[in-house]
Chains A and B, each alone.
Chain A
Amino acid sequence: MARPSRQSTAALWLLLGALLLTSAAGLGARLVLERDYYRYLVVFDVTQSMNVRDPLPGLARRTRLDRAKLAAQELLTRLPCGSAMGVGIFTQHRSLLLFTPVEVCGHYDEIRTMLADIDWSMAWRARSEIAKGLHSAIAITGNLQPPARLVFFTDGHEAPPVHVDFPPRFTGESGKVQGLIVGVGGQLPLPIPKLDETGDQVGVWGRDEVMQVDVYSLGRAGDVPGETMVGVETGDLARRLASGTEHLSSLHEEYLGQLAAGLGLDYQRLEAPGVVAEVLTTGRYAFRRAAVHDVHGWLGAVALTFIVLIYLIYSAGGRKARRRWDAA
């Protein structure tokens, strides 16, 4: 009997391959690969300076808080499924967690509604000690299980101001929690709207209604009314009080940059909403985990190619054989 031809051996192998691939697909074979995903705790500064509407080129005159919310919405739409987002707010001297991160695709509507509902009236105090707020936001993020990264939207306007020599001390470990401080606002100092209970503007904060200098510079109260204790240089206090601009608010970019550097966070200015979303969906902040991929499409496609190849081989082999026969 003739030895099996080369074509017939090849065809047999291809057939066997197709059988194995198809069986694997039928049994539900899956491939486990590493994949990027993100977990963010997004904290919004809801203090009154966030109600300023900065005239920024190319952007509608929305409040700073509204622009921060838009950026967060954009981030929510861009996060791949399996990522998670939680929300917190900052006011007074601390951040408050509203809900821990939940998966974004399964809870898209809920997170969207939540983001839309955030507004300045949630602020429980008219103070804005941003450094302390950041410290507590880092502590909250560090407490989250599984771990998450922090995104902190603020304009960097400390109220009352911070003394240069006595900044709030961070007791945590710098760089342990990764994240991004997003600076919201314009360079032009603008008056801060004063709103009533229902959110209508009733004026702006005046020069003498806000603290123009930090509490240290004002000095400690002494026994005698009107006298202050010595210890802190307050020589130019009168001048500073008179020329204070704390009732106007702009984006304190330099200050936020310093804070970020000291805390091991990154800083990014909020321009178009998409920019922040883009930075936050890069590998820098990604977590990796094994994800199951269904590869049946590949298995099936290769199996089909094999079967088609078999019939092509035969027709090619057939032509060759006929040519040989004709030549003989």
Chain B
Amino acid sequence: MSFALSHPLLLLLLPLALLPWFGAGRPRRVYPALALLPEDPLSRWLSAAERLLASIAITALLVALSGPYRPEVEIERVGHGAQMMVLMDRSRSMDQPFYGKHTATAPLPYLGQQLETKGQVARRLLSEFAARRAQDMFGMVIFSTKPIQVLPLTQKPEIIQAAISAAGIGRGLAETDVGGGLIRALQFFADRPYTGSRILLLISDGAATLGLATRARIQQLAQQHRVALYWLYMRTRNSPGIFDSPHRAEDPEGLYPQWSLHQFFRSLETPYRAYTAEDPQALEQAIRDVSSLQNLPLHYLETIPRRDLHRGWYAAAALMLLPLTALRWVESRQ
């Protein structure tokens, strides 16, 4: 444990601590015949004690004034977090209400019912996820027509939440280009040290059929940068999910783009997982998966902030001044 001073030059005043030892240190009484006074050991002892108390008090005050502190230290810790790039859909369709899975027993939505939009549900889940996985590094890219990088990989919770909540202000943009977004987010890992497992978390409600070139590029980038892909799927009302296989055999890619995207992701050689937002267990499952699967150690620096230590020195000075004041008060009453 180290110790440092903010204003060490103030210690040049330390000779002031000798001040009590010069001079009488008390009012002189005019007395005609000092020789007649008897020797008083108690007075001598008290006088020495007073000088000592004053000396220590001055020293402690000077040390306190010079600003003692324990400097900030950075400790390298090894955690089991991941580097997670969030790719969030900001297309207009994310502003539509989120109905969840359509089942025979689910109550029908009625006119005027206040439903959360898909974007709100996504942000709520993501925000909770980020809060629960504080050891992970998060970055964010939003996409509609063009991918827009919002946040570099960081571990600071405040700015992560700021980026998540920003996605909730203002309407969504026009279109969706999942392919461009995926490529941009994957490229983000290029030229960065592999300090922890990498995950690309896609949050989106729809899909587009990707061209062959785009597919090849995504596959290549995911392998090259060793990125696992997680997809949090926001189901559109009455749309078949990503897990349901198409009912109609002809043109499944055109009719069920989300299913086709899911199949493409599954064909990747890098790890892939899909979650559906309507499943209340999805968030827990995702958190469990990140904790258990991505178990490579992540090196990060934790900063232990600087701590000021002046208060203790002031307290010491006060403890010296208290008996000193009491003694002087008694003397002045005699």
Which residues from chain A sit less than 8 Å from chain B, CB to CB?
1-2, 4-5, 7-9, 11-12, 15-16, 18-19, 22-23, 25-28, 86, 89, 94-103, 106-107, 110-111, 113-114, 117, 121-125, 136, 139-140, 143-144, 296-297, 299-301, 303-304, 307-308, 311, 314-315, 317-318, 321-322, 324-325
A314/B26 in contact, CB under 8 A: yes
Q: Given A2-B29, A318-B28, does the pair A300, B332 have CB atoms closer than 8 Å?
A: no
Q: Taking the nearest CB of chain B, how far is it from the CB of A319, in angstroms? A: 9
Q: Does B37 contact A (CB under 8 A)?
A: no
Contacts A22-B314, A124-B174, A317-B27 known; list 10 others, CB within 8 Å: A8-B26, A15-B321, A26-B315, A96-B170, A99-B166, A122-B146, A308-B16, A314-B23, A314-B25, A322-B28
How far is A262 from B92 in the complex, measured between Cα atoms in Å?
Answer: 30
B328/A15 in contact, CB under 8 A: yes
How far is A136 from B162 in the complex, measured between Cα atoms in Å?
Answer: 19
Q: Taking the nearest CB of chain A, how far is it from the CB of B20, in angstroms? A: 6
Q: Does B254 contact A (CB under 8 A)?
A: no
- CB-defined contacts of B154 to chain A, threshold 8 Å: 107, 110
Q: Taking the nearest CB of chain B, how far is it from the CB of A90, in angstroms? A: 11
Interface residues on B, range: 35 or more
Listed by A's residue number, 15 A-B pairs whose Cβ atoms lie within 8 Å are A8-B331, A22-B317, A96-B170, A97-B166, A100-B169, A107-B156, A110-B151, A114-B150, A122-B149, A124-B148, A125-B145, A300-B65, A301-B65, A304-B61, A311-B19
Q: How many A-B residue pairs have CB under 8 A?
A: 176
B16/A102 in contact, CB under 8 A: no
Residues facing A in B148-172 (CB within 8 A) are: 148-152, 154, 156, 158-159, 162-163, 165-167, 169-171
Minimal Cβ-Cβ distance residue in B for A1: B334
Q: Taking the nearest CB of chain A, how far is it from the CB of B177, in angstroms? A: 10
B314/A4 in contact, CB under 8 A: no
Q: Give which listed residue, A8, A26, A101, A299, contacts B162 with CB less than 8 A.
A: A101
Minimal Cβ-Cβ distance residue in A for B150: A98
B169/A97 in contact, CB under 8 A: yes
Q: Taking the nearest CB of chain B, how far is it from the CB of A98, in angstroms? A: 5
Q: Given A121-B146, A296-B314, does the pair A315, B64 have CB atoms closer than 8 Å?
A: no
A26/B156 in contact, CB under 8 A: no
Q: Taking the nearest CB of chain B, how far is it from the CB of A24, in angstroms? A: 8
Minimal Cβ-Cβ distance residue in A for B148: A122
- CB-defined contacts of A143 to chain B, threshold 8 Å: 169
Minimal Cβ-Cβ distance residue in B for A317: B27
Q: Given A96-B170, A107-B156, A311-B19, does the pair A9, B26 have CB atoms closer than 8 Å?
A: no
- CB-defined contacts of B328 to chain A, threshold 8 Å: 8, 11-12, 15
Encode contact with A along B1-41: 1 for CB under 8 Å, 0 otherwise: 00000000000000010011011111111100000000000
Residues facing A in B214-239 (CB within 8 A) are: none
Q: Taking the nearest CB of chain A, how far is it from the CB of B176, in angstroms? A: 11
Residues facing A in B308-331 (CB within 8 A) are: 310-312, 314-315, 317-318, 321-322, 324-325, 328-329, 331
B325/A8 in contact, CB under 8 A: no
B64/A300 in contact, CB under 8 A: yes
Which 8 A/B pairs are nearest by Cβ-Cβ distance? A26-B315, A26-B314, A25-B314, A124-B145, A22-B318, A19-B321, A321-B28, A99-B163
A110/B152 in contact, CB under 8 A: yes
- CB-defined contacts of B185 to chain A, threshold 8 Å: none
